[in-house]
Amino acid sequence: MKILVTGSTGLLGHQVVKLALDAGHEVLATYRAKPPAGGKPIKLDLVELESIKQTIIKLKPDVIVHTAAYTDVDGCETNQELALKVNAEATKQIALAVDEIGAHLTYVSTDYIFDGKKGLCREDDEPNPISYYGYTKLEGEKYVRTRSKGWCIARASVIYGWGGTKKNFATWLINSLSEGVQVKVLMDQYVSPTLNTNLAEMLLEISGRRLTGVLHTAGASRIARYDFAVELAKIFGHDPKLIKQAKMDEMTWAAKRPKDSSLDVSRCAELLKSKPLEVSEALRIMMAQR
């Protein structure tokens, strides 16, 4: 199978590339600035909208796993034009290309399309984003639904793990705690933390089976960020006392965050062989990967 992976140097994308290569697939790995370590490197800047469709049609992949996105929540709030272009308009061009060549598209979306009033959101719950990031990702979902035929929207939550070009919630915690630095973590925001390798496995299964529709492909635990941090500290052998509780109303963010954006992954657990992992199991796997 010929797989095109967008965002191939990112936290999620590089794991999709690695696992796809391990499985013997031909991998086209797109990048913006620095070429990826694995796969055939394909330069593709999602800001240059006019080149996206043409590039994909020329490459003719069987499936596309679209992981690339502008994920800085506050950055999206203050750079709305860029956020809309990368997260929505570029996704539209990918969807149009997919439709033309008869490929399958798996689009990685986010729990931030929900307003956080309910928690354990199901695939058919009504989206209501409260940040511009969430809005642009939802617009991307709409383009996927309306501009291509073979698609799956895979929603995740707080992706973490090793790799990528930036720190994520888990690696920030590990670095801080290992240096004895005290950290403040929210005790009243609930999420479904998702290990990047677990998500990559699910995305490749979805692509390989050409599954369609919306799937919540997050971790299997609804958990407060503070409780996640304490569990991580215990598993990685750090002092949980360094972790102090904070509340959302104490934060000075540019963008609003949902209070409970946890996802119900029961459909995914029933449908896929690669199951969503509980937090404790996922963190033990991450520890072993180090």
pLDDT per residue as tens digits for the range 2-21: 999 999 999 999 999 999 99
Residue 80 confidence (pLDDT) above 90: yes
Catalytic residue among 31, 70, 133, 160: 133
In tens, the pLDDT along 155-200 reads 999 999 999 888 999 999 999 999 999 999 999 999 999 999 999 9
Find, among 157, 150, 214, the residue nearest to 191 by Cα: 157
Going by the DSSP 8-state scheme, the letter that residue 89 receives in this structure is I
Helix and strand totals (H; E) in the chain? 11, 13
Residue 266 confidence (pLDDT) above 90: yes
Round to whole Å and give the CA distance between 236 and 177: 10
Band (pLDDT 50/70/90 cuts) for residue 66 is very high
Find, among 268, 162, 176, 264, the residue nearest to 222 by Cα: 264
Catalytic residue list contains 133: yes
Band (pLDDT 50/70/90 cuts) for residue 270 is very high
Q: What structural domains does the chain harbor?
A: 2-161+194-219+261-278 (3.40.50.720)
Find, among 212, 218, 210, 192, the residue nearest to 275 by Cα: 218
Residue 150 confidence (pLDDT) above 90: yes
In tens, the pLDDT along 197-231 reads 999 999 999 999 999 999 999 999 999 999 999 99
Written as one string, the DSSP assignment of 243-266 is EEEE-GGG---SS---SB--B--H
Chain mean pLDDT for the chain: 97
In tens, the pLDDT along 18-30 reads 999 999 999 999 9
Q: Is the pTM of this model over 0.95?
A: yes
